[in-house]
Structure 1
Amino acid sequence: MINIGIIGGSGYTAGELLRLLVNHPQAHIDFVYSTTNAGSPVASVHEDLYGTLSLNFIDTVNPNVDVVFLCLGHGKSLSFLQANVFNETTRIIDLGNDFRLAKDVAFNGKTFVYGLPELNREAIKTAQYTANPGCFATAIQLALLPLAKNSLLADTVHINATTGSTGAGVMPSATSHHPWRTNNMSHYKAFGHQHLGEITQSLQLTQQGFNEELLFIPNRGDFTRGIFATLYTTVAADFDDVVELYRAYYKDEPFVKVTTDSISLKLAVQTNNCFISLEQHGRYLLITSVIDNLVKGASGQAIENMNLMFGLDETTGLKLKGTGF
């Protein structure tokens, strides 16, 4: 069994980790850390765990667990690790953005590996520290990596992606307040979203000389979970050849499904899957990519990385099916 600690246990990503880990055959949840809820039952915050998990939140850590998941706010993982020392053999998976970029990967004499399995599977298998990708970054990279792998990204990429309200985190804000969000939609951080850095980094590593513009408009949607992303660009290849190179890139990937049919968000919600649809419209290739922002975009992918790091089948505990209705 893998002994697990979860830091920042009251948020949405931690709640999703717990939902998945309680049914993982090799997982034992050792502690759930939360300074604001210490002493309270975990199920008092994550009510879906009533009758399933009897642990209380604590405000101390067991430094000898096998793996720690950091579910802290962005920018807080580094300071937490500086203040809390874990065993030399403890593996760390950060769900924040502290260690995703090449300039930030070094910590404690070791290196964080970027945790997108479809890009870095072999490196993840031997990693002690893994930086889980962002949710938008996951959906967008999976939409573009096959083109980059075949050096076909040679024009501006236009990206429009809408995320559910859980993407804003558990703490209420003006734009996640239910009366504001319901029957409403808005964009934010247009052309400057923080996930652009890791997306560009991966594309540059995959396609030598990549330097095209990624024009990204993120949107807030009137739903709780999921990301629906549409991307379009010109590609100097026949459409049928493009479809085949996508299928070839993902043929051994358990969680990526490629189709030429239209797709909808509910296919992916509550699963660790990414569905990718390809269409040709005149000279433009249209790519649609849908994921669950809390599963493949966060906690499910973190468990996928844990499975790889501990030599388990990648799909262990993650064979989930969407409802479709």
Structure 2
Amino acid sequence: MVKVGIAGAAGYTAGELIRILLGHPQAEIVWALSGSQAGLPVHEVHRDLVGDTDLVFAAAPDFAAVDVVFLCMGHGKSASFVEASDIPAHVKIIDLSNDYRLEAPGNDFVYGLPEMQRAEIKSAQHLANPGCFATAIQLALLPLAAAGRLKEVHIHAITGSTGAGQAPSGTTHFSWRNSNISVYKSFTHQHLGEIGQSLKQLQPDFEAAVNFVPLRGDFARGILASVYLDCDWSLEEAEAAYDTYYADAPFTFRSKAPIDLKQVVNTNKCLLHLGKYNGKLHITSIIDNLTKGASGQAVQNMNLMFGLEEGSGLYMKPSAF
């Protein structure tokens, strides 16, 4: 059994992580750390877990008792936690924040997108889990980058309210979000850095713009990305390239039929659909931002890091209705 510690355990991604790990046949949660909720039963905060666990939020970590620590903390807080903690060298770290995703001197965290970095993830000691928008968008583009076919990219992508975290804000409370939609961080979203880093890794000469307009949706969870670019492949050539690239990916699939968000909510899947219109290739990509976009992908990476079956604990049915 892989012994697990979770830091920042009171938020949305941690709640999903706990839910997944409680059903994982080869993992055991040893402690779930939360400074604000220490001493409370986990199910009093993550109320969907009533009856599933007697775990109590811990006030301090016990690194000697675990094999891996998941950091489910806000951006900027993971790095501070790591720097302030005496984490033994043998304990693996999986960070779900933005703190270690970009290459930098002294950063030994492997970027954890399994569809691109599977071999590197298997030997990683420290891993940076990709962002949710970044996952959906990269999976839409990786086969093109691998074939050297990327040109200027245009993206509109919409996310559910859980993507903004558990703490309420002016743009997440119900009366504002309900029956509403809005654009935010146009062309400046923080996930553009990791997207560009991955695309250049596969296509080193790629210098064109990645034009990304994110939208807030009036639903709780999920991401739909609509991506298009000029492409001289036929639709059949593009479909063949995507099928080949993802042939060994247990959770990423091309759908022949048009796709909708409910097909992936509550799963670790990414579904892709391709279309060709007047010289432009259009890719629709859908994921659940809390599973494939966060905690599910983190468990997928844990499985790879510990030599387990990649999909262990992650075969979940979508909430289709």
Q: Same fold (TM over 0.5)?
A: yes
1:157 and 1:262 mapped to 2: Cα distance?
21
Cα deviations by residue, 1:15-67 (Å, 9 ceiling, x for unpaired): 00001000000111000000000111111000111111101111100112100
How far did residue 86 of structure 1 move?
1.4
8 Å contact kept, 2:234–2:276: no
Distance 2:310 2:248 in 1: 12
Is it true that 1:175 corresponds to 2:171 in the alignment?
Answer: yes
Contact persistence 1:105–1:112 (CA under 8 A): no
Pick aligned residue for 1:206 from 197, 202, 206:
202
2:46 equivalent in structure 1: 46
Residue correspondences, number = 320
Secondary structure in structure 2 of the residue aligned to 1:225: coil
What letter matches 2:265 in structure 1?
Answer: V
Match of 2:135 in 1: 138
Change (3 A) 1:71 1:288: same
Q: Which residue of 1 aligns with 2:103?
A: 102
CA RMSD for the aligned pairs? 0.8
1:190 aligns with 2:224: no
The aligned counterpart of 2:149 is: 152
Q: Please say if residues 105 and 113 of structure 1, whose CA atoms lie closer than 8 Å, have aligned partners that are also in contact.
A: no
Structure 1 counterpart SS, 2:156: strand
CA contact (8 A) 2:9 2:33 kept: yes
| Pairwise CA distance, 1:96 | 0.2
d(CA) in 1 for partners of 2:194, 2:106:
12
| Alpha-carbon offset, residue 323 of structure 1 | 2.7
CA–CA distance in structure 2, aligned partners of residues 237 and 258 of structure 1: 17
TM-score, normalised to structure 1's length? Answer: 0.97
Q: What is aligned with 1:290?
A: 286
Matches within 5 A, 1:65-84: 65-84=66-85
How is 1:12-51 mapped onto 2 (pairs within 5 angstroms)? Answer: 12-51=12-51
Find out whether 1:320 has 2:321 as its counterpart.
no
Give the equivalent residue in structure 1 for 2:88.
87
Displacement of 1:132: 0.1
Secondary structure class of the residue paired with 2:94: strand
1:51-62 equivalences under 5 Å are 51-62=51-62
Partner Cα separation in structure 1 for residue 160 and residue 10 of structure 2: 19
The residue number in structure 1 matching 2:222 is 226
User: Which amino acid in 2 is paired with 1:131?
Assistant: A
- TM (norm. structure 2) is 0.98
Distance 1:307 1:242 in 2: 31
Q: 2:113 is aligned with what amino acid?
A: L
5+ residue gaps, structure 1? none
Q: Secondary structure at the match of 2:304?
A: helix
Identity rate of aligned residues, in percent? 53
